A and B are shown apart, each in its own frame.
Chain A
Amino acid sequence: MKSTATQLGAAEIKRTFSWVDIVVLFGVFGLLWTILHFGRGMVTHFDESQSTVISTDIWNIPYYAGRTLLRMWIAFGCSLLFTFAVGYAAAHNRVARAIILPSLDILQSVPVLGFLSITVTGFMALFPGSLLGVECASIFAIFTGQVWNMAFGFYHSLVTIPKDLREAATNFRLSRWQQFGTLEVPSSMHSLIWNSMMSFGGGWFFVAQSEAITVLNKNIKLPGLGSYMATAVEKGDNTAAVWAILAMLAVILASDQFVWRPLLAWADKFKMELVESGDAPQSWLYNFIRRAYLFDWVEDKISHPLSDAFIKLKKNLGTLEVLPKAPRKMAARWIPRLLGLILGLWLVYQMILGVIAAIDAVYNHVSLHQFLHLCYLGLLTMGRVALMTIVATLVWTPIGVWIAAKPNVARIAQPFAQIAASFPVNMTFPFVVGFFVAAHISINWGSILLIAMGTQWYILFNVIAGAMAIPSDLKEAARTYGLRGWSLWRTLILPAIFPFWVTGACTAAGGAWNASIVAELATWGNTTLKAQGLGAYIAEVTQKGDTPMIISSIAVMCLFVVLTNKLLWRRLYEYAEKRFHLD
């Protein structure tokens, strides 16, 4: 009662333009200008014979950072469109679901970095003589790194929309478009933003990696922070390298502060629960923008009159609104199905062609002995991934539970862990490798540390989330019955965090396979350290451009990942779901 009264009071104040609106206007136009400015650089001429020169002058960092950021956001925009289209199709169409879900499952577990050489050559052929091809390949790499997770999340939210909310929308005869805007997107908004944040964070790794690559013996560099770092390391310019790392941190922090925090603060109202929850996420930028009158003005003076005019036009054209629409004629229903069938068949045909070409390329060039060698290397890398997962679990589980028990620590630690997970650790690899060389640590073991640097965080913040989600009545019950120490862990904490741990460990292991491609073959100035493993092998054949071996080594890695997913993670998921699901 009290809160509504104050809201009423606030609405009565006559709102007008203020300096806030000027700042917001400047912000909007500044953003547009920046996009144009950095976008122009994307279509410059590119000669394959000579690589782009990246200057290590510190004053160039803002420009390079802008280019990297633009790449990230374009990729994210594509991911978002793909997520909406594919998630929606999977949720609403039986046939589409049968195709999309298994494909997403496979694509999610494929190590994206392995395909970089193939996509780069493909996109370069699409845009000959322009840097746009390489640019597209880089964007595509980021896209493939983040999109599957988002699409899955959106699909999952769509199918878990409560039945009564759907029925209400149907009962009030909302059109498909209205249902999408009023029900489907809002109800999945919260998970969509969280998933986007995580995927976007993972994207930094791919952008840093794909900006400077050696494909088919050609050195290709895109202007960006990743390539700046690579150039600095090549030149041995430590100051520039440190500046690049700082700039990367700044860019990640800025994305968090200027985009994700405001979005989270705004999306708090999309939470599904009908009870008032504790502290809502805050964002200074969101609070600032909300003070602007500009958006209300646009709504009042532009969008409302437009929609009214549209409705009047529709009325004059004599659209009957009250009568229900007759079901579409048979022909009208069959046309989209036929088109879908043709498209599907064409896709299948293309895929079969691709598989045949791949098998043909591999068949005559790869002997059984080589294949077995690949499997052996795969086992070695798998050992590293497993060791990383186990050690990270043992280290971070107690720490995560401790952090979760202290709300003050958790409030600081969670964003920190998120940023740590976002930071593209491949940028710091050169330094760590330098340390390995100096300390005489074998890269065979050292690569485990390199892999862990990027992926352990997933385990940490899933454990934190799990421990924070333990209902307080269960904790109080445990305290009442005097459970402490190991018995407390065994009866309450471990079962409660297990489902969360499975999610975190599965993500970490998936990321680790990708990271192995960068971590097992690391360069520091003139020294190159190479570990025995499938990741190093893939990195090597990619640089050489040995197509049959690229295909077969990636195929082996995919096989490993898909098999561990099916045989291990899927079962753990099911077990967790059955045994340890709260409520």
Chain B
Amino acid sequence: MPTTTLTTSTAGPAIQQSIIAELCNVTKTYGVAGGRQLKVLDQIDLAIHEGELLALLGQSGSGKSTLLRCLTGLAVPTTGRVLAYGKILEGINPYASIVFQTFALYPWLTVEQNVAVGLMSRLVTRAEKEAAVEKAIDLIGLNNYHDAYPREISGGMRQRVGIARALVAEPKILCLDEAFSALDVLTAENLRNEVMTLWKEQGPL
């Protein structure tokens, strides 16, 4: 069953706290071939609280990814509003990171450099950046792989890089867009458990 999961990782899984992102009456239509309009999301309301783990279940084509894209600002809703910390979202949501189903790693960058992409938009000095990257790599179990290129490592390791890249920017919302479905069952299960453990134990990164 195709799933799309969302994790907020600010606090532990304890009590539900304040709302960090919200979809208000969001409708999204795409123009498809022949000038027809395809309505993917129809008046969706959704609130994401701090410390919450949220899974979206649905058939393929039911709009899970579109919802995620609206939440992260990659797609702009046709009507309705997206709020991030109560403010109307303009452009990309700075509090959200995505982990892609296809990993979306840059083949020409090493593991370390790929993870550092997550920090590129931040004003951090070299030393701060290196420390943050090292921490993320350490956290997700990629030690000894710093200088490897994505094509040199296995699928499970690649997705670890994807997750480290998403975590390095210390997002408030971590969006996993079918992040484990391109992996074999065993690897996917292991990685899912690891991410769950991280979420339970670590709280804020």
Q: Interface on A for B, CB 8 Å cutoff? A: 1, 3-5, 7-8, 11, 162, 164-165, 167-175, 178, 182-183, 186-187, 189, 269-276, 304, 307-308, 311-312, 314-315, 319, 321-327
Contact = CB atoms under 8 A, between A and B. Distances in A.
Interface in B115-163: 117-118, 120-127, 144-152, 158
B104 to A, nearest CB: 4
B108 A325 contact: no
Given A311-B124, A321-B123, A4 B90 contact: no
B121 A307 contact: no
Given A167-B100, A168-B104, A169-B117, 14 more contacts: A4-B147, A5-B144, A172-B97, A172-B120, A172-B169, A173-B94, A178-B120, A182-B117, A186-B108, A269-B108, A269-B149, A307-B126, A308-B127, A311-B125
Interface in B25-76: 72-74
Dominant secondary structure at the A interface: helix
Nearest to A312: B125
Nearest to A272: B107
Contacts of B149: 269
A165 B104 contact: yes
Given A167-B98, A189-B108, A323-B94, A172 B165 contact: yes
B91 interface: yes
Contacts of A4: 144-145, 147-148, 152
A171 B98 contact: yes
Contacts of B98: 167-168, 171
Contacts of B196: none
A304 B126 contact: yes
A370 to B, nearest CB: 50
Contacts of A271: 107
A8 B122 CA distance: 28
B91 A270 contact: no
B94 A171 contact: no
B144 A270 contact: no
Contacts of B109: 182
A-B pairs, 6 with minimum CB distance: A164-B104, A173-B121, A168-B104, A308-B125, A186-B108, A270-B108
B126 A308 contact: yes
Contacts of A171: 72, 74, 92, 96-98
A325 B126 contact: no
Contact of A269 (B102, B107, B117): B107
A167 B152 contact: no
A272 B109 CA distance: 11
B123 A314 contact: yes
A116 B140 CA distance: 62
B104 A319 contact: no
Contacts of A5: 144
B92 A3 contact: no
Main DSSP-derived SS at the B contact region: loop
Contacts of A312: 125
Contacts of B94: 173, 322-324
A276 to B, nearest CB: 6
A420 B183 CA distance: 48
B106 A182 contact: yes
A175 to B, nearest CB: 7
A175 B92 CA distance: 12
Interface of B: 72-74, 89-94, 96-98, 100-104, 106-109, 117-118, 120-127, 144-152, 158, 165, 169
Contacts of B93: 324
Nearest to B151: A274
A166 to B, nearest CB: 9
Contact of B92 (A173, A187, A276): A173
Contacts, number: 115
Nearest to B122: A321
Contact of A3 (B103, B152, B169): B152
B90 A7 contact: no
Given A4-B145, A171-B72, A270 B107 contact: yes
User: Which of A5, A307, A322 has most chain B Cβ within 10 Å?
Assistant: A322
A324 B90 contact: yes
A327 B90 contact: yes
B151 A170 contact: no
Nearest to B113: A182
A189 B152 CA distance: 20
Contacts of B72: 171
Contacts of A270: 107-108
Nearest to A1: B144
B151 A276 contact: yes
A434 B126 CA distance: 67
A308 B94 CA distance: 23
A273 B165 contact: no
Given A5-B144, A276-B151, A323-B94, A170 B108 contact: no
Contacts of B150: 274
A476 B69 CA distance: 44
Nearest to B121: A173
Contact of B117 (A3, A11, A168, A324): A168
A5 to B, nearest CB: 7
B74 A183 contact: no
Nearest to B75: A167
Contact of A273 (B89, B144, B151, B169): B151
A205 B33 CA distance: 46
B148 A7 contact: yes
A174 B121 contact: yes
24 contacts: A3-B152, A4-B145, A4-B152, A5-B144, A8-B146, A11-B147, A162-B104, A168-B117, A169-B117, A171-B92, A171-B96, A171-B98, A172-B120, A172-B169, A187-B108, A269-B149, A272-B107, A274-B151, A276-B151, A304-B126, A324-B90, A324-B91, A324-B92, A324-B94
A272 B124 CA distance: 29
Contacts of A314: 123
Nearest to B154: A1
A300 B107 CA distance: 24
Contact of A8 (B101, B107, B125, B144): B144
Contacts of A311: 123-125
A273 B122 CA distance: 29
Contacts of A307: 126
B77 to A, nearest CB: 16
A322 to B, nearest CB: 6
A556 B182 CA distance: 57
A222 B109 CA distance: 45
B147 A8 contact: yes
A515 B75 CA distance: 51
Given A4-B148, A7-B148, A173-B94, A274 B107 contact: yes
Contacts of B89: 324
Contacts of A189: 108
A174 B147 contact: no
A175 B121 CA distance: 7
Contacts of B121: 172-175, 178, 321
